A and B are shown apart, each in its own frame.
Chain A
Amino acid sequence: MKAYPSFLLALSLGLAVSLVILARSDLAFAQTPDPRTISDDQVNAIAKHLYCPVCENVPLDVCGTQACEQWRQVIRQKLAEGWNEAQIRQYFVDQYGDRVLATPPPRGINWLAYLVPPIAILAGVWILIQAFRSWKRPLPASSSLPQPEQLPSEVLKRIEEELKKQ
């Protein structure tokens, strides 16, 4: 029976050592990731949605400057380290601010970017509906348009003559 705890202790120690070795080997692996395993398409899929602060309005995946090439290398490195797209995006936001994103993140004043156009369009629809409603109402009696019976007889006669000529 006494041998049992010793066995457990040995097993535990063995496991612990194995875990440490495994962890260390993982660590060592993580410290030397190979970016060559990451394809250009994987890099561009993320770069497409990022903008560098220098090259205005040019997405990172097609920008030919040296700075943007370095950014793409950073993406490649991060992907090789196992980062996902959201983490990489956040990394660039932390480094350079919200302007690296293709659209303003929906928070704070940025909500205005998304709310103003639909509100303006809805206001236009409302104005149009009001206008249609007012137009559907019958015309007031004092309409300035002359009714046929109000036209002077010589004008009517002239119109009839012109119509006959056609």
Chain B
Amino acid sequence: MITDLGYGTLALTFLLALYGILAALWGIQKRRPDWIDSARNAMLLTFPLLTVACLSLIYLLVNGHYEVEYVASVTSNSMPLYLRITTLWGGQAGSLLFWSWLMSAFASAVTLRNWARDREFLPWVIVVSLVTLGFFLGLTLFVENPFDRLWLLGSGIAVKSFFPPAGAIPYYQSDGNGLNPLLRHPGMIIHPPMLYLGFVSYVIPFAFAIAALITGRTDDRWIRITRRWSLVAWLFLSLGLILGGRWAYDVLGWGGYWGWDPVEIAAFMPWLTGTAFLHSVMIQEKRGMLKHWNMILIILTYNLVIFGTFLTRSGVLSSVHAFAQSAIGPLFFVYIGASFVISLSLLLRRWQELKSDLHMTSLLSREALFLLNNLLFVGILVVCFWGVIFPLISEIVTGQKVTVGPPFYERATAPLFAGLLFLMGIAPLAAWRHSTVQTLGKAVWKPTVVSLLAPLVAFTMDVRNWAALLGFWLAAFVACVTLYEYGRAVIARSRSRGESLLRAFWNLAGRNRRRYGGYIIHLGVVLMAIGIIGIELFQKETQGTLAQGEELSLGPYTMRFDSLAVFDTADGRNVARAVVSVYKNGRYVGELYPRRDYYYESQQPMTIPGLRSTMEDDFYVLLVDWQPISSSGATFKVYHNPLVNWLWLGGFVFIIGTMVAAWPESETNPATVRARRRTPLAAKAS
């Protein structure tokens, strides 16, 4: 019954999406606003319908309906309620439905905005949004249906299908396989929804861009409408990436946060173009330039969103053969190809109209430096894209697969990231339109001098790694410039308005949220850079087998293996838990409990580190192996990760900054804003 309800609403939403597309196109063709309104209503309705579909699946997951294949594959009797709910996005079919549901939420939200000034965009925004939604609904309905049931054929083979195959009987299981243990972590529970939210919210700016190209309204209106959408998309994507890093650090048991895995890179690529876009649109808003480039960036971002989903869902990463055999892969491939070709054709059609009469006048102007920043972001994108697809190219051409691992990415992107940090310091000091070496030099020398203290201090603390010294200088340079800029503005406002410094700081951030939110984001990046330099350049590790009471030392830390207990838990795990005492510079600092959980259902182990975490460093202990205590004891792998917590702190500041930048302005009514602008300052003061 509930299975039928879920499948029925899914099918109905798919039909509704198709209707919406056709109604919008018909309305455009026949100039019939009533048809366009009908398409708009159809888009609005997709959200409640898909909510019903999602709730149906959650009901099946929570109540252990193992006759449904998806439920049997991702849940089990021993799983707690909250985990059963989150399995909605824990497997392929469920995650596609979840993706569609989020997409429908954004599509419905966009229909509710006031379209009076932008009526011509509406039908095309509907078409693009519903084509994207329809594609994912089609995949969910026809290829990866989460409502497929299990059936037992006469031959004794169990198959999945929504409708019963001829001669088959329903197949009921008393228990399911359970969720992959690696996904049973708070970080992994929140991380996918954040990434998906980031992915789907980029569909809206893309839809407006395509609408602008089709309608020929190629001024910066589409950019102004979608400014907040882009920031929200970027916020969620950033949050997803940061949470993913934390999950990897806590769960994957290799002492790191980022492994340049293709799945990570898949989410990172749209973030790169999205970040370039956020900077580049400012040039179009301020100077009316780079209209082509902004279109290219948003087209790239949308296609990278789909490409990212394709990479993680098609099996193409394991091999081209798996891709060819998967039902979902070729469909994604065709969709990305078609979307890319159509978008670029539309762009070429409007190429002349998008040309700007305004030119850059100075290589040191802010817009020129932003353009350079875009080049570096796209450079990193090229490295990432090429690194991900090269193994596939190699397999196709030579039949042999190769690995493109972290050393490739690290060597290629490190100078580009350093360049970005440098530009992050310089650009806020450069003026729009015109900036000379003299004016820029005058603005930059004070922060430069102060920032040189950072590598000097590091040098006196025996840091001799030139890359680290350069990195610390760059981080300090950006921090000094940002604080200098912020400080100057706060003091000026405090003096002119007679406000306290704190009040001036608060009001300043409220008055120009994008600018000052951006500065907070830059400070977040600085903190993250310090953490990354710490762990990437100064991480140490060792491994050893210890008998009870024996010690292992690394850096300033020493750990002593005290005891080990092995026991079963009620949720189907066999847990081996060690107790180790930790000493720093000879002083006892506490106990850690590294453990290894073995999940009987999925027959998978999971390594949970014991972690002592401070702003100075992390001491990270993994239980690698153990024997009965009577023999040789247990093997531990230990990492010393200096400064890594600055990375997480920076991530937090980064997200706060993005929220400040994306927060809606209080004065949203244009009439009110105009009226206020007309009011003389003297009248305002009174």
Contacts and interface: CB of A to CB of B under 8 A. Distances in A.
Interface string A101-145: 111100011101100110011001100100010111101000111
A110 B402 contact: yes
A77 interface: no
A85 interface: no
Interface string B257-268: 001011000000
B345 interface: no
B253 A62 contact: yes
Contact of A117 (B383, B401, B543): B383
Interface residues of A, number: 42
A4 B404 CA distance: 68
30 contacts: A39-B543, A40-B543, A40-B545, A40-B637, A41-B543, A44-B541, A56-B318, A57-B262, A57-B403, A62-B255, A98-B400, A98-B402, A102-B407, A103-B404, A104-B402, A109-B397, A112-B393, A113-B390, A116-B382, A120-B379, A121-B416, A124-B378, A128-B371, A128-B372, A128-B375, A132-B360, A132-B363, A132-B368, A137-B359, A145-B358
Contact of A116 (B255, B386, B397, B543): B386
B363 A104 contact: no
Given A57-B259, A62-B253, A128-B372, A117 B406 contact: no
Given A103-B404, A165-B680, A56 B359 contact: no
Contacts of A145: 357-358
Interface in A1-50: 39-41, 44
A62 B622 CA distance: 10
B394 interface: yes
User: Which of A117, A135, A139 is packed against the most chain B CB atoms within 10 Å?
Assistant: A117
Contacts of A117: 379, 382-383, 386, 412
A110 B635 CA distance: 38
B549 interface: no
A64 B607 contact: yes
B84 to A, nearest CB: 26
B405 A103 contact: yes
A144 B359 CA distance: 13
A93 B205 CA distance: 47
Contacts of A132: 360, 363, 368
Which 10 A-B residue pairs are closest in the complex by CB-CB distance?
A40-B543, A102-B405, A62-B254, A135-B359, A104-B402, A135-B360, A121-B379, A120-B382, A117-B383, A57-B261
Contacts of A136: 359-361
B403 A165 contact: no
B544 interface: yes
Contact-size category for B: 35 or more
B423 interface: no
Contact of B405 (A40, A57, A139): A57
A125 B376 CA distance: 10
Interface in B555-609: 605, 607
Nearest to B416: A121
A110 B253 CA distance: 31
Interface in B535-555: 541-545
A71 to B, nearest CB: 14
B678 A110 contact: no
A51 B405 contact: yes
A51 B407 CA distance: 13
A113 B404 contact: yes
B383 A99 contact: no
Contacts of B390: 104, 112-113
Interface string A62-78: 10100000000000000
B317 interface: yes
Contacts of A82: none
Nearest to B262: A57
Given A64-B607, A110-B394, A135-B360, A124 B400 contact: no
Contacts of A62: 253-255, 637
Given A124-B375, A165-B680, A44 B543 contact: yes
Given A40-B544, A41-B543, A143-B357, A102 B375 contact: no
Nearest to A53: B401
B460 interface: no
A125 B374 CA distance: 11
Contacts of B678: 165
A99 B402 contact: yes
Nearest to B398: A109
B459 interface: no
A49 to B, nearest CB: 8
A97 B402 CA distance: 8
B611 to A, nearest CB: 16
Nearest to B255: A62
Contacts of B398: 108-109
A62 B104 CA distance: 41
B115 interface: no
A113 B635 contact: no
B375 A101 contact: no
A140 B507 CA distance: 44
A99 B398 CA distance: 12
A137 B359 CA distance: 9
B218 to A, nearest CB: 14
B383 to A, nearest CB: 5
A102 B406 contact: yes
Contacts of B340: none
Contacts of A103: 403-405, 407-408
